[in-house]
Amino acid sequence: MIQLIENAARHLDEIAVKSDSTNYTYAQLLSASEQIALQLLNGRTDLNEARIAFIVDPGFQYVSIQWGIWRAGGIAVPLCIKHPYASIKYVIEDTKAEAVVFSKEYKERIQLLFEEFEMTAIPIESIESKEGNLPDIGLDRRAMILYTSGTTGKPKGVVSTHQNIEAQIKSLVISWEWSKEDHILNILPLHHVHGIINILSCALWSGACCEFLPKFSPKAIFDVFCQKEVNLFMAVPTIYYKLINYWNELPTAEQQAISAALKDFRLMVSGSAALPISTLEKWRDISGHTLLERYGMTEMGMAISNPYRGERKPGYIGQPLAGITIRLVNEKNVTLGEGESGEIQVKGPNVFNEYWEKPEATEETFIDGWFKTGDIAMFENGSYRILGRNSVDIIKSGGYKISALEIEEVLRKHPNIKDCGVVGIPDEEWGEIIGASLILEQGEENVAELKEWLKDKLPNYKMPRKYIVQADLPRNVMGKVTKKAIQKIFIEL
């Protein structure tokens, strides 16, 4: 049985979800998801892993649909509410979804789907009360397909079983000490493991409350925090950066009120992208909290985390979570020791089942049962430190392997550099040379002066050779900088 849903029966009268200024109990969530499951079954006894896509705003409806699909025996395919039609069509085509559940806000966006594909349209407003039986669902069943960001070709559908999802939830609930007393604000996209697993599913597994905002804004987030109900928060570095900038512009009295509310939180987490140390330090000044950095990806949920209790080292991602095994290997797949940099490989029940209908890609990403992440790290001082992504953040120049993240951290310390993105640019002589895209606080940057400033901060082989200035860095919906886009700009210069 699906333990996540079974757990809800222990908290029937507690608030499970808060959205649209309304509180919804676990009893209401169980009832609504049962009705959706029966609607999807429509007389059948089991969906038998039929793919059901859905597109609704984050909130109670989202959770009800997701649980309803699972309870009917289907595979949930959440669609990104910000994606254009072409991206949505790709997911539908790839998964061969038999139905799409949607709210009226997205009817026009997806209308063409029902002309191009033989599939059932299910407006969420049309769900009626029904009676019937639901199937027993084994943990080995496939439960969800989430799509990668597609940095190495077309996005791949990451298939997780109920067992994978349960393992991902349990490791975090144990390590981050979730309880039914918790109340978390969820502002992250719900087609991504960060929003679905780390926040939503961990909260509901524990009998806690998950609150949603109708629209992102720093003011709205701080207003919720000042109500002093929320005691956990998880976000990406870009969001913390925006909150810091907003806080800096407020009158002193409002700043003090926000800081006082934040100090009462029990946990704040940052992930999905590298956290600049400067952002960590500024947020600590405002909130009194050292953000907990962790490491994970769509294919495995979370695998490594700084400790909930104990020292959190800036720039480090911590130790393996409970039940998960980590190793670092070199290019010949030889296991490395402390102080040596290599690819992170992961083994455990959290690791995904397969890439949807891509057996070759699935086979390529595993070796002897280990999942190859493509991320480069080093184990030192009792903790893992990410050096970069194999293909994007590791620049190979003149025989050196250079971490783009290290150079970015140095550049961000310059008084006129607000943010930056460092990439490798193909070069016939050096293999790659280093390019830096700069987001400035004001005016223009004198490159000669910048190079002089960098002289005693970086060795010569790590110095950027080319610079561009942009209004903002290109990012995906999770706030990750899309370095391929930066590389393309440099190449076309």
Task: Tell me the CB-side half-sphere exposure of residue 245, using CA atoms within 13 A.
Answer: 11
Domain made up of 207-347+361-389: CATH architecture: 3-Layer(aba) Sandwich (3.40)
Is the domain 3-137 a CATH 3.40.50.261 member?
A: no
CA torsion, ordered 44, 46, 51, 55, to nearest 10 deg: 70
**SS3 call for 23:** strand
Global pTM value: 0.85
Q: Where are the domains of the chain?
A: 3-137, 207-347+361-389, 394-492
Pair type for strands 99-102 and 120-123: parallel
Helix (H) or strand (E) holding 34: helix 26-41
| pLDDT (0 to 100) of residue 149 | 61
CATH class of 394-492: alpha beta
Asked if domains 207-347+361-389 and 394-492 share a fold, the reply is no
Whole-number pLDDT of residue 151: 45
The reported pLDDT for the residue numbered 224 is: 97
Nearest of 28, 53, 25, 27 to residue 40 by alpha carbon: 53
Residue 377, token pair as written in the block: 């790290």
Q: How far apart (Å, rounded) are the C-alpha atoms in residues 477 and 168?
A: 22
Q: What is the C-alpha to C-alpha distance for residues 323 and 347, in angstroms, rounded to an integer?
A: 9
Residue 153, pLDDT score? 56
Give the pLDDT score at 457. 87
* Residue numbers in the chain where pLDDT is lower than 70: 149-153, 390-391, 399
pLDDT in tens, 388-443: 776 678 888 876 778 888 899 899 999 999 999 999 998 877 888 999 999 998 88
